[in-house]
Amino acid sequence: MAVDWTQLPGELLESISNNLTIYADYLRFRSVCHCWRSSVPKTPRHLPPQLPWLMLPHTRSQSQSHRAFFDVSAQKIRLLKYPESSHRKRCCGSSHGWLVIMDETPAILLINPLTRAKVQLPPLSTFPIVLSFNYYEIGKEYALTTPSGDIYRCSLREMRDSFIKKVILSVSPAGDNNFIALAILNLTGDLAFCKNGDQSWTFIHDAKFFSEDVIYHKELFYAVDKNGAIAVCDVSGASPRVSIIETPSQFGGDIQYLVNSEDDDELLLVTRYLDLVYDNVDLNAFFKSVKFEVFRINWNGPLWERVTSLGNRTLFVGGNSSLSLSTSDFPACSGNCIYFTDDYCEFNEEFAFGDYDLGIFKLCDGSIEPLPCYRRSSHSQIQGPPIWVTPNP
C-alpha cells in the first residue's frame, strides 16, 4: 500500500526537522509540501554554526541589487538580493551571519543577507575622538583629535575606508538578543564597543594597541596584539575591565588572528606570513600569503604552543570573525586546513593589480590550494575583497 507522506503527524515532522543540522536541508524539508511547511517554523533556532559562504565582489554584468555568494558545501554560486552592497559601500566585518556595512555617511548598518533584517549601530560621529561632523565642510567633514590633543580632519570617504578595521559581534542581533559590538580602529589602535540600544561608542582604554584581532569567547572579548599578548575585556558592567595576559613574543608573521575552537574549548592563534610578489606582465608589486602557523594557548605559562595538526578542524580567517568548524559536521570542507581571504588589500594601492589573496592552506605540507569559486578579472569592481559569511537565519 502506498504511503501518503504528506499526512505524517505534526509531532513526527517536528522531530525530524529538529535533527536536521544543515540550513539547506531544512529549506528542502519545508519545500516538500504545504503540510510539512506549516508543521515547522520558517526560521530554525536549533541549527549549529553553518559552513560559511564566500561573499564575492560584484562584476559589471551582475545586477546591482544582488550579490553572489559561493556555497562551499554545495560547491555552487547563490545569488541573494542585496542592494546595500553598491560600490559606494564597504563591508568591515562579518559576524554570526551579519555583515557590517558603511558608506559615505556616519551610519553603520548591520544586515543579515539571508533574512534581510537590519540593525543600526551608533554612527561614526559618536566615537569619542570625533569632535564634530558637518556635511557642509566638503572633503573635511569630520574633525578628530589625537591622543596629544591635536585636531585633524577626515573626509567621508576616508572615514568609510580607513577608520574602522573590523567589527565583531558577541551574538547574533536577531530577536531580542542583547548583543555587543566591538570595533577595531585602524587610525589609533583603539578598541571601542557599544551595547544594543547605546547611542554612542565607548573606548576600552586599557586595551589600546591590542588591535590585531578580537573574538568573543566565554562571555568576554579577547584581543591580541602584534606579538601575541592578550587583553581580556569584560564590558558587561558599567565600565570596561581589562586584564592583560603577557606571553613570550611571537616574532615573525604579518597578521595575527584569534580563533575560538569551541568543541575543544581552546583559544588558537593563527599567524599569517605575507611576501611581496610581482605579476608577470607589468611587474606590479602586491602582497600574497605564503605561510600560516597555528598556536594554542597554554594558560599555565602562559605561552603559545605550536600546533602541527588541526585534525578534523577547519579554520576560516579574513575580514570575518574567525571561525573553527569540524569536518565531521561538514565533510564538504577539508580538515587540517585554513580557508583564508585577505583583509588588508583594500588599504594597499597594490591590490588593484593582482588577484585577491585567498585560498586553502594545508598544514600537513604547507601548500596553498586555490578556492574553486573565484578568480579576479578586469570585470570586477574594486570594493574590498571577498569575505566569509555564516548563513544564520
Q: Contact at 8 Å (CB) between 292 and 310?
A: no
Report the pLDDT value the prediction gives residue 382, as an integer from 0 to 100.
46
* Distance, CA of 98 to CA of 153 (rounded, Å): 31
Segments forming the whole domain that contains residue 5: 1-48
Report the pLDDT value the prediction gives residue 379, as an integer from 0 to 100.
43
Q: Sheet of 213-217: strands edge to edge? A: 213-217, 220-224, 230-234, 241-245
- Owner of C-alpha cell 515547522: 40
Q: Are residues 20 and 117 in the same domain?
A: no
Report the pLDDT value the prediction gives residue 1, as an integer from 0 to 100.
54
Q: Are residues 42 and 141 in the same domain?
A: no
Domain boundary among 48, 64, 83: 48
- Assign 62 a pLDDT band (cuts: 50, 70, 90): low
Strands 313-317, 337-340: pairing kind: parallel
* Lowest mean per-residue pLDDT among 46-50, 150-154, 211-215, 382-386: 382-386
Q: Are residues 245 and 277 in the same domain?
A: yes
DSSP string, 295-359: EEEETTTTEEEEES--TTEEEEESSBPPEEEETTT-TTS-SSEEEE--SSGGG-GGGGGS----E
* Lowest mean per-residue pLDDT among 165-174, 182-191, 372-381: 372-381
Residue 88, classified by CB atoms within 10 Å of its CB into exposed (0-12), middle (13-18) or buried (19+), is: exposed
Q: Are residues 53 and 170 in the same domain?
A: yes
Q: What tens digit of pLDDT does each residue of 268-289 get? A: 999 999 998 877 666 677 788 9
Q: Are residues 44 and 162 in the same domain?
A: no
CATH of the domain at 95: 2.120.10
Q: Are residues 312 and 185 in the same domain?
A: yes
Q: What tens digit of pLDDT does each residue of 334-360 get? A: 899 999 998 876 544 444 444 678 899
> Into how many domains does the chain fold?
2
Residue 46 has pLDDT above 70, yes or no: yes
- Full-prediction pTM beyond 0.75? yes
Q: What tens digit of pLDDT does each residue of 11-42 get? A: 888 888 888 877 778 778 888 888 888 888 87
